[in-house]
Amino acid sequence: MIDIQQIRDHSDEVIKRLRVRNMDAAELVNSLKILDETKRQLQKKLDDTLAEANALAKQIGVLFKAGKGADAESLKEKSAMLKKLAKELQEQLDDTNKNFQEFIVRLPNLPHPSVPAGKSDADNEVVQEAGKVKKADEGALSHWDLAKKYDIIDFERGTKITGAGFPVYKGLGARIQRALITFFLDEALIAGYTEYQPPLLVNEDSAFGTGQLPDKDGQMYHVPSDNLYLIPTSEVPITNLFRDTILQEDELPVKCTAYSVCFRREAGSYGKDVRGLNRLHQFDKVEIVQVTKPELSYKALDEMVAHVSVLLKKLELPYRITRLCGGDLGFAAALTYDMEVWSAAQGRWLEVSSISNFEAYQSNRLRLRYKTSEGKNRLAHTLNGSALALPRILAALLENNQCEEGIYIPKALQAYTGFRYIQ
């Protein structure tokens, strides 16, 4: 969440920057200012009352010790009054805090100055395009047709045993999945990331910590009997490793990578966008996460974009990088680059990675800080990105690499698959 200090000091600036998200935050910001003021006044009154009560209790203690219990009686009465007052003030303060909290979590992160205005993904700014975008040959097959042709993904039986959006990978399909995971993890290790294997279920605190709750409640699978959520990305458990943590300055940057299965309900999705591997309820992803000093977070963002670019180059896939516009920017992100690969048979770009700098927005919620060399605690910056999400990579590999021999496996991946073609 946004630091209240920013609203206290620069509320106009906050409102102005949120306009890039097509949000009119004036009313919300104003309410927050009032609530913040009320909160502080109540806090002051409460503290003063408690201070008086504390002093009184000490006095009574001294009297009792001196054997003057009788003199303490009148003080006890006064103390009872103060206590009653304190309780009332506490209740008011709790209410105000609750309101304040409800309001402040509704404010998304402030977009970075470079974020273009815009309403939808159509307004995203293409910052780079690399690799040759192939025109699909006559008779080129979509990946779902290719998957069937080579018998590597069984969508129908996935639907039978679970439901739509839960494909079954088979034979070379399963093996290429495994190869991709290992390839991505190895590349992350070389880039200095530490590998983790997190739980796939998280509790409410964690879901709140990274902003899935309360914002994207319906997007996660929920296990009511234990009140746990299936992770939509390993960003959730990994970033939450650092919840309520004060790191030492020399521990930064923290770089983590994790492979995990991800689960998304994708309620409301339909149409051709969800065909085949385009949008699934369960999929595999390797994630990279960084925790950095504030002044270095944009350098880290560039580094992460470069890392993913290398992966795509090694996979010989045509890709482009877009900078998300205000309307498409995620709630907690200040700046996001999407990485998209070209899907030859579908003739469109598929998002395979989303790399974001959350600045201090997540850490504020997570209470993730670091101690500076001066001994002061500051909020760290958090970043994450997919490196990479598997299904659309596989879709692109199938569609772009179909040839007479079958499906060509890029050289870098052959070391992992052990085969050169899917035939």
Exposure letters 378-397 (e unless 16+ CB within 10 A, then b): bbbbbbbbbbbbbbbbbbbb
Closest distance between RNA and the C-beta of residue 204, in Å?
A: 12
Closest distance between RNA and the C-beta of residue 6, in Å?
A: 11
Task: Give the helix/strand (H/E) hosting 284.
Answer: strand 282-292
Q: Quick one: 285 or 369, whose CB is closer to RNA? A: 369
Closest distance between RNA and the C-beta of residue 94, in Å?
A: 8
Do the Cβ atoms of 279 and 228 come closer than 8 Å? Answer: no
Give the Cα separation of 322 and 336 in Å (integer).
8
Closest distance between RNA and the C-beta of residue 379, in Å?
A: 9
Q: Quick one: 22 or 54, whose CB is closer to RNA? A: 54
Closest distance between RNA and the C-beta of residue 292, in Å?
A: 18
Closest distance between RNA and the C-beta of residue 53, in Å?
A: 6
Closest distance between RNA and the C-beta of residue 173, in Å?
A: 25
Q: Quick one: 245 or 282, whose CB is closer to RNA? A: 245
* β-pair partners for 153: 169
* DSSP-derived secondary structure for 23-91: ---HHHHHHHHHHHHHHHHHHHHHHHHHHHHHHHHHHHHHHHHTT-HHHHHHHHHHHHHHHHHHHHHHH
Q: How many CB atoms lie within 10 A of CB 256?
A: 22
Q: Quick one: 250 or 404, whose CB is closer to RNA? A: 250
**Footprint of RNA on this chain (CB under 7 A)?**
40, 43-44, 46-48, 50-51, 53-58, 60-62, 64-65, 72, 76, 79-80, 83, 246, 369, 371, 376-377
Closest distance between RNA and the C-beta of residue 49, in Å?
A: 8
Q: How many CB atoms lie within 10 A of CB 297?
A: 23
Exposure letters 265-274 (e unless 16+ CB within 10 A, then b): bbeeeeeeee
Q: Quick one: 7 or 15, whose CB is closer to RNA? A: 7
Do the Cβ atoms of 353 and 286 come closer than 8 Å? Answer: no
Q: Quick one: 93 or 339, whose CB is closer to RNA? A: 93
Burial of 373 (0-12, 13-18, 19+ CB in 10 A): exposed
- Residue 183 has, within 13 A of its CA and on its CB side, a CA count of 26
Q: Quick one: 72 or 332, whose CB is closer to RNA? A: 72
Q: Quick one: 83 or 313, whose CB is closer to RNA? A: 83
* DSSP-derived secondary structure for 173-193: HHHHHHHHHHHHHHHHHHTTP
Do the Cβ atoms of 341 and 319 come closer than 8 Å? Answer: yes
Do the Cβ atoms of 122 and 327 come closer than 8 Å? Answer: no
Give the Cα separation of 105 and 390 in Å (integer).
32
Closest distance between RNA and the C-beta of residue 371, in Å?
A: 6
Closest distance between RNA and the C-beta of residue 210, in Å?
A: 20
Closest distance between RNA and the C-beta of residue 244, in Å?
A: 9
Q: Quick one: 56 or 296, whose CB is closer to RNA? A: 56
Nearest to 258 by CA among 397, 387, 98: 387
CA 418 remoteness from chain centre = 34
Nearest to 118 by CA among 286, 290, 323: 323
Q: Quick one: 44 or 119, whose CB is closer to RNA? A: 44
Q: Quick one: 294 or 330, whose CB is closer to RNA? A: 294
**88-92 LR contacts (CB < 8 Å, sep 24+):** 89/42, 89/45, 89/46, 89/49, 90/46, 92/42
